[in-house]
Chain A
Amino acid sequence: MISRRDMLKTGAAAAAALSAPRLAFAQEAPFAPKPGPWRDFAVTTRLDLTASGKAQAWIPLPSVREEEWIKTGKNDWKTNATLAEVVRDPKYGAELLHVAFKEGEVAPYVEVRSSFALRDRAEDLAAKGIVPALGDADRKLYLEATELMPTDGIVKETAEKAAAGKTSDIDKARAIYEWVVANTFRDAKTRGCGTGDVASMLRTGNLGGKCADLNALYVALVRSAGIPARDIYGLRVAPSKFGYKSLGAGSEVVTKAQHCRAEVWLDGYGWVATDPADVRKVVLEEPPGNNTVDNPKVVAARQVLFGAWEGNWLGYNVAHDVVLPGSKHKVGFLMYPQAEVAGALLDCLDPDTFKYSIKSAEITA
């Protein structure tokens, strides 16, 4: 486990680096996502259940409608289920395919193919534009607490510390981003993408985790500062074209490539891309690994990932506390396929008990 002392050491290393020459990264393509050509993709998710009782399953579908960076396409599926229907979560608009199998089905399966297009995002934060105001309903939705993201108590106190002295929303949001980057760490032992129990993280001081922890912490802190923010739960679908091995899919098999990002609403800019968790991923995983914060790739990621991200990642939805239709179960977020057999939810993080695969393909005409 990385300790606070280690984090402080990396901070000291950044100061020491002031006198060190930095040449290597300058020779590579700069990490500079910017809106350009659209790229078409298809993701195929297949579940094979071993049923000993009535089975049903839920597969997230791309349902983020933000035409600046994602265009959703068709969803097609094949299955031996007796029910297969697209369901839309009424609160957040998250869409999923719900399938239910007849009792006694020997080999329940479903295969879903979703097509979509992506491109990079980059906001010119030096130039405020004319953007329609966020509607009252959305403002309320993206400021509210969720089951795992309280916005009062220790969360609010932490946000006030992190953004002390800042007056504008953009300065507060950036200060909180920097606080999360500086004070958290990616914990390789965290299963899946983490859970995102923000209050527990802050109360115990255990600020390690993965994207669902670190970006949820960012979103909760920003919301508690009165600025709308949201997590987007999704999947890496292609390698990074900027040479970041840690920030892209390693192959066409993306079964374990789930990743969530975050957005903050800034008047005059709209929804602005952020991803403090990926800065910590670069610190831990970008070869050779365990990089210090003055590593040029870390510095570049840290500068870019408040305001931009690369279009090699599919955003499924922004939903929290999703009740699975036809089930008594609820999930904190819908990023993995879910299934239950005989009323018991399977462990979406355990491939031994819940067999599924996800493949991604770029569609080039």
Chain B
Amino acid sequence: MGLAPLLALALLCAAVPGAADPLKPDSLKPVSLKPWTSDQIPPLALDRLDGPPVDLATLRGQPVVVHFFATWCAPCIEEMASLDAFAASAGAPVVLAVNVGEVEARLRTFFRTRPVAFPILLDRDRATMKAWKVEGLPASFVLDRELRPALKTEEPLDWTSPAVTNALAALSPQAASPVQPMRDKGETPR
């Protein structure tokens, strides 16, 4: 083989548009939640993995995190442990983890070895993801006690980081105050 193909390859590698973009995180980046404004919150009423259905509207009075994820999504998996620790911490908002389009049998297998402290909701036909205008996974939305839009992110977060804690504390004093969160311990497969 001559040098020409290698030269072309090397030049091509150098010239690929976007090749130097910071497209892929090596791990969770130090990002935080951003303000989220929306005229209205889309409905969210879904079946729950091995539990009764959940309707967001019934959770008024508590801050809520709505988190969209899938088990094939590597950043989602990276994020899951910190989200679980966050959900289990005192005074944390209710966390609703919405799985997008996966088979329940696969979810049971996944969470059997990675138990979590929040309910797994099933967006089987992706309709909820679309209604919430989620364009990529993971994505998380924070609603205040009145279920009004407050914060969001379309990137994986370290939910135990000071940046996230501060963002939630700044949301409202109530957001960080003790509430009786919705827990799924002993119900969601662990």
Interface residues in chain A, defined as those with a beta carbon under 8 Å from any beta carbon in chain B:
1, 3-4, 7-8, 10-11, 14-15, 17-18, 22, 25-26, 147, 150, 153-154, 158, 161-162, 164, 178-179, 182-183, 187, 189-191, 194-195, 197, 199-208, 293-294, 296, 299, 302-303, 329-330, 332, 344-350, 352-354
Cross-chain pairs A/B with CB under 8 angstroms, 18 sampled: A8-B20, A17-B10, A22-B1, A25-B1, A154-B135, A182-B16, A182-B19, A183-B19, A200-B73, A200-B135, A204-B25, A204-B136, A206-B74, A302-B9, A303-B5, A344-B105, A347-B109, A350-B105
Which residues of the partner chain B approach A345 to less than 8 Å between Cβ atoms?
Answer: 103-105
The residue in chain A whose Cβ has the minimal distance to the Cβ of B104 is: A344
Report the Cα distance A182→B105, complex, angstroms. Answer: 35
| B24 CB contact (under 8 Å) in A147, A206, A293, A344 | A206
| B135 CB contact (under 8 Å) in A199, A302, A348 | A199
> Is B125 part of the binding interface, using a Cβ–Cβ cutoff of 8 Å?
yes
Report the Cα distance A106→B138, complex, angstroms. Answer: 42
Smallest CB–CB gap between B2 and chain A, Å? 9
Interface of B is mostly: loop
Report the Cα distance A206→B73, complex, angstroms. Answer: 9
Report the Cα distance A197→B68, complex, angstroms. Answer: 13
Report the Cα distance A262→B107, complex, angstroms. Answer: 29
Given A11-B19, A18-B10, A296-B1, A200–B136 Cβ distance below 8 Å?
A: yes
* Known contacts A11-B19, A205-B23; 11 further A-B pairs (Cβ under 8 A): A4-B22, A11-B14, A15-B13, A195-B72, A200-B136, A203-B154, A204-B73, A205-B22, A205-B25, A293-B13, A330-B125
Which residues of the partner chain B approach A18 to less than 8 Å between Cβ atoms?
Answer: 3, 6-7, 10
The 3 closest A-B pairs by CB, nearest first: A203-B136, A205-B23, A11-B13
> Is B101 part of the binding interface, using a Cβ–Cβ cutoff of 8 Å?
yes
Smallest CB–CB gap between A323 and chain B, Å? 10
Report the Cα distance A11→B13, complex, angstroms. Answer: 6
Report the Cα distance A105→B7, complex, angstroms. Answer: 63
Smallest CB–CB gap between B5 and chain A, Å? 6
The residue in chain A whose Cβ has the minimal distance to the Cβ of B156 is: A204
Interface residues in chain B, defined as those with a beta carbon under 8 Å from any beta carbon in chain A:
1, 3, 5-7, 9-10, 12-14, 16-26, 70, 72-75, 101, 103-106, 109, 124-126, 135-138, 154-156
Smallest CB–CB gap between B130 and chain A, Å? 9
Smallest CB–CB gap between A298 and chain B, Å? 9
Smallest CB–CB gap between B144 and chain A, Å? 26
Report the Cα distance A353→B106, complex, angstroms. Answer: 9
A207/B24 in contact, CB under 8 A: yes
Which residues of the partner chain A approach B1 to less than 8 Å between Cβ atoms?
Answer: 22, 25-26, 296, 299
Report the Cα distance A294→B146, complex, angstroms. Answer: 58
Report the Cα distance A192→B14, complex, angstroms. Answer: 32
A1/B26 in contact, CB under 8 A: yes
Which residues of the partner chain B approach A190 to less than 8 Å between Cβ atoms?
Answer: 72
Which residues of the partner chain B approach A179 to less than 8 Å between Cβ atoms?
Answer: 16-18
B72/A191 in contact, CB under 8 A: yes
Which residues of the partner chain B approach A294 to less than 8 Å between Cβ atoms?
Answer: 6, 9-10
A350/B10 in contact, CB under 8 A: no
Given A194-B72, A204-B136, A8–B17 Cβ distance below 8 Å?
A: no
B70/A205 in contact, CB under 8 A: no
Smallest CB–CB gap between A335 and chain B, Å? 15
Given A164-B17, A332-B101, A350–B24 Cβ distance below 8 Å?
A: no
The residue in chain A whose Cβ has the minimal distance to the Cβ of B155 is: A204
A4/B24 in contact, CB under 8 A: yes
